[in-house]
Amino acid sequence: MKYIIGNWKMNMLPNEAINFCIEYTENVKGVNNKLILAVPFVNMFYANNFVQDTNVQIAAQNMHFENSGAYTGEISASMLKSIGVDYCIIGHSERREYFNETNEILNKKVRQAITNSITPIFCVGENLTENESGNTKEIIRVQIEEGLKDLSNFENIDNTLIVAYEPIWAIGTGKVCDSNFANEITTHIKEVVKEIYPDLNVVTLYGGSVTSLNSNEILSKENIDGVLVGGASLKADEFTKISKF
């Protein structure tokens, strides 16, 4: 069983989301993978209603670190939970880069998610310079040690944390990371998280220019438990091919 998670980012109008859900849920009937779509907030209520009684689940792409209050424009974990959302992407490199989300802020978000029984899909990854200078493992260790520190209440999320390795240089660029290297880094992620939380079940994903042409090779790797797919999750037929691994 693999995790196949689509991240629509800031794409898909409600009518497009509806059409996607109709086609995709039909296509993946009986598929025995964990199928999750991270949709924009305006599509979430409808999409989540639509996928009830199917094998598809809906995730959020972001949430605030406080549970309520004067934070104009923000969405809280308890709001997500109230409409039945069980997963949230936290720490995507686009949030880190364009919205200045630091490891400290992300740590607060992860803790708030777990408090509300929302499983974080925590993203880590290095930029090209860091990759070329051989610092990938160290960068990821710091992102994990700071972003995932002082966590508790794992029973709320079935003792399972999802961590996605998304090399920044591979996101939206068409440059897919070598699958052996990706497996080496997801192995490292499991080791580092287990050093801190030995009893936790760590699900690792790879993300960055995944398509139906490379997904099978990536998903065949021992320590890659799934994929986080951006561009290729926007077309139901393409995402179906990836989902049917």
Positions marked active-site: 92, 166
Whole-angstrom CA distances from 85 to 52, 77, 124, 162 are 11, 9, 22, 15
Residue 226 makes contact with ligand PGA by CB under 6 A = no
Instruction: Work out which of 209, 212, 215, 240 binds ligand PGA, going by CB under 6 A.
Output: 209
Stretch that binds ligand PGA, among 56-64, 71-79, 142-150, 223-231 (CB under 6 A): 223-231
Q: Is 6 in the site for ligand PGA (CB under 6 A)?
A: no
Query: Helix axis angle, 179-196 relative to 136-147, nearest 10°?
Result: 40
208 lines the binding site for ligand PGA (CB under 6 A): yes
Pair type for strands 87-90 and 119-124:
parallel
Restricting to residues 117-176, name those near ligand PGA by CB under 6 A. 166, 171-172
CB 166, min distance to ligand PGA, A:
6
**Least distance to ligand PGA from the beta carbon of 216, Å?**
16
Count of residues that interact with ligand PGA, criterion CB under 6 A = 13
Instruction: Please give the Cα distance from 96 to 171 (Å, whole number).
Output: 14
Shortest distance, CB of residue 207 to ligand PGA, whole angstroms?
Answer: 4
By CB under 6 A, tell whether 229 contacts ligand PGA.
yes
Closest-CB residue for ligand PGA? 230
| Sole binder of ligand PGA in the list 2, 4, 7, 12 (CB under 6 A) | 7
Comparing CB distances to ligand PGA, the nearer of 110 and 228 is: 228
Q: Which stretch binds ligand PGA (CB under 6 A): 17-25, 59-67, 191-199, 207-215?
A: 207-215
Specify the residue for token string 């974990």: 77
Nearer to ligand PGA, 18 or 234 (CB): 234
β-bridge mates for residue 226, sequence order: 3, 205
Cβ atoms < 10 Å from Cβ of 147? 26
Of the candidate spans 74-82, 155-163, 202-210, 214-222, the one that interacts with ligand PGA by CB under 6 A turns out to be: 202-210
Give residue 244's identity as a one-letter amino acid code. K
Q: Which listed range, 21-29, 56-64, 130-138, 204-212, lies at the site for ligand PGA (CB under 6 A)?
A: 204-212
| Contact residues for ligand PGA, defined by CB under 6 A | 7, 166, 171-172, 207-210, 228-232
